[in-house]
Amino acid sequence: MRKLFLFFCLSALLMALPLSAEEKKKDTRNVMLNAESATVPREINIGLPESGNGAVVYVDGLKHAQGLPRSQFHWSGGNAYEPISTIGLMEAVVRCGEFGVLVDSHTRFGRDTLSGAVTLQSSSNGLIRFDGAINGRLAKVKTGSWHFSLGAYVNYDPTNVNAPSRLFVDQKQIYQASLTRKWNNGMSLSGLYRFSLCDDRVDGGYSVAPFVFVGDGSIRQYGNFRLGRDCYMPADENVRWMDLVTGTMQEGNMAKMDRRLTHDATLKWQWEDAWESGWKLDASWHLCHIQPSRYLKVTLAGIDLTTPTGGYTRPDGSPFEGYIQQRQTQVVDTWTSDHELLFTAEKKWNKHLLKLGLDLVCARQYDATSSFIFAHSVEPSPIRLQKNGVSSWSLNRNSLYLDAWKLTAAIYAFHNWDINDRIRLRTGARINPIYNDVNTAARLSNEETKNVRVDGFNLADPNLAEIHHIQKPGLNYVVSENLSWRIVNRLFFTAEGFYSMTEKTSTYFRNAKLPSLAPIGNALVRAGFNYDNSWMDCTALFSYITSWNNAATISVTKQIGGISETIPYTAQYGIGTLGFTLDGNFHVSGFNLHARLTLQDPRYKNYGNVFEFSDGSQMVIDYSGKLVTGISRLMIEFDPSYSWDWCRVWASVRYNSRQYASRTNLAYFNGHFETFAGADFTIAKHHKISLNLVNVLFQTGAKGSIDIADTITDPAQLQDLVMAGSYIRPFTAELSYTWKF
């Protein structure tokens, strides 16, 4: 069965965003479209490496969480929110310290009149979704009024593969309520509580499939396995693993081990015209608390061809011969309690606009990630295999550990200055002292004999592990500048850029090794022209983005004796990306067309590696100068729509050119299309029916990156290689009904 077409995903590429000195318009184009996942916000593709956590989400001006929790665990957008937009790059990097375009969502607090919306959705997958919200005024008093809002979002999605071990793969419930007090002098105080129960298993290993990599960028079907239709996880999901902290063996069923309870509270105060002085003041406090919870991440760890003497057996004990798929599984035991206190002030006078902010964060974070490997056959609805009589092995070879406090205090400022009617300057600055107090089980040097991730590694054994207590202060900072020059009438020239230095976040200390504690640097310069009139607006710009001292944990796989071994590796590297974007929006009567072209050349820099495996062998591979994996150099997008009084029809077509699947750039996937279409029908004044379609062209194929190919240096080894990876979702239809009142 199919994954549901997701409405809450960030689709605009950072380099492709329209350039605007004033940032007076927020880009909302295709914020709701995602061609790969039905529940995870799309990564922001800017030629820099993907974070793996989806888009960064801000709710009511505050970050949804400070590092460990992913946004989809307790946020979904929907009727409880105002229309979702994005935060522009220059504002995001100064205001939030985040390098990228961020999803900006605001709760629908109570209005003077009673209003609300209810949406019921289903799909060709068998999706069940309810999204409802209501808000209004409770009472009017002499000095103001009281308001309320309520919201509920319930999602049960079997996804496109109809897993035999679980009825619904994506399960989420979110409930929220707010109470607002408004005063006649423009002051307001709102309290919001949101609770979520998330059982989604989007990282449970269901969105991958096997195929044959031909070697020329194309793939062909492996046997009778249908991409996106057949399930690639065994029905037997019973597992045994070693608890990283205690060293004891645990048992469970992966179909029932994902469960996260999140409490989210916000208190927001606003004063539109403080003391009638022109100042707009805001103060917000936010708590995100995840109760002790468990989260499973299942990733691919290589396909091998085994013989009857290879040690793999079927459930009945008979020897197995043929292809086997190894799966690396991480059992993440986590909890977090994040507090954020934000003060902002804004004032306009003459030709100036000043914005000030003070952002205080205290985050308590815990993450103990146990790991193991299991295997299954390579076929539809595969069978679970045992190796040398056990169902899981390589215990804690890929384990992570973090017990930390993070304290930050950021001060930021924007100053807009209209020098005259043609020239505007916008200056931004952010300074952010940070303090990390961390307990970690990482190796701090190559000479350290403990904390080596061997089979059976655990923190309870003093011969294997030693907890290091690291106290590390640091300083993050950002400076940015934007120049807008109106050359003639509606033709503008804009140039902007920023430079930032960011200390490694506390989550970096989870890794098995810490090769560098140097801060991560980011820089961007871009310039271009913008023209608009009554029926069109168009932007052309050149950009250069660079980043250095990046850190990421990757899984490296190598065949040893014909069997794949997967090890964790903490990589340090840089990126450089030169790009060009042409973006236009054209509208005549009821017709609208958005078109975008992006060219970029993202390449790794300073990316040398020495991989060490259990047999004592080493591989030295330098990825410097290679194109970044999973990112296209050419992207083209067309988004036409036409609206009548009673109906709107729309389509979205995106073309992504070749994507390299390995960091050596020997493996790649040919270009592919991502297509969407839909129609909204107004059947009565307050009633609407919507039809949404995914993959209208019925295109099939693989996409993204394949980590197991990163150690292959001989192109001949890639010819007709059986591998597994992510794929383009097949055709999906979704029908929804919305009642607004």
Cβ atoms of residues 582 and 539 within 8 Å: yes
Q: Quick one: pLDDT at residue 63?
A: 85
Q: Where are the domains of the chain?
A: 14-740
Band of the pLDDT at 40, cuts 50, 70, 90?
very low
Q: How far apart are CA 709 and CA 715, in angstroms?
A: 10
pLDDT band at 418 (very low <50, low <70, confident <90, very high): very high
Find how far residue 235's CA is from the centre of its chain.
Answer: 28
The rounded distance, in Å, linking the Cα atoms of 264 and 69 is 12
Residue 379 reports pLDDT greater than 80? yes
Model pLDDT, residue 42: 46
Give mean pLDDT, residues 285-289.
94
Residue type present at position 634: L
Q: Which of 85, 72, 81 is nearest to 106 (CA)?
A: 81
Q: How far apart are CA 94 and CA 91, in angstroms?
A: 5
Paired tokens of 64: 């949804």
What pLDDT score was predicted for residue 46? Answer: 45
Q: Point out the least confidently predicted range of 184-198, 288-302, 325-339, 693-707.
A: 693-707
Give pLDDT tens digits for 182-210.
999 999 999 999 999 988 776 778 888 99
The pLDDT value recorded for residue 555 is 77
The stretch 94-98 carries a mean pLDDT of 87
- Pair of tokens at residue 147: 């308001």
User: For 170-174, 339-343, 395-399, 637-641, which range has the lowest pLDDT when averaged over its residues?
Assistant: 170-174
Using a 10 angstrom Cβ sphere, with 0-12 exposed, 13-18 middle and 19 or more buried, the burial of residue 610 is: exposed
* DSSP letter for each residue of 147-212: EEEEEEEEEEE-TTTT-TT-S-SEEEEEEEEEEEEEETTSEEEEEEEEEEEE---TTSS-SEEEEE
Q: What is the mean pLDDT of residues 539-557?
A: 87
Question: Is the full-model pTM beyond 0.75?
Answer: yes
pLDDT of residue 106 exceeding 80 = yes
Instruction: Decide which of 3.30.300.30, 2.40.170.20, 3.40.50.261, 1.10.287.950 is the CATH code for 14-740.
Output: 2.40.170.20
Are the C-beta atoms of 254 and 241 separated by less than 8 Å?
no
Q: Say which residue the tokens 């030169």 belong to.
A: 578
The mean of the pLDDT values for the chain is 87
What tens digit of pLDDT does each residue of 646-682 get? 999 999 999 999 999 889 999 999 999 989 999 999 9
Residue appearing with tokens 């490496």: 49
Ranked by mean pLDDT, the top range of 134-148, 194-208, 547-561 is 134-148
Comparing 107-111, 142-146, 167-171, 689-693, the range with the smallest average pLDDT is 167-171
Among residues 595, 577, 524, 513, the alpha carbon closest in space to that of 551 is found at 513
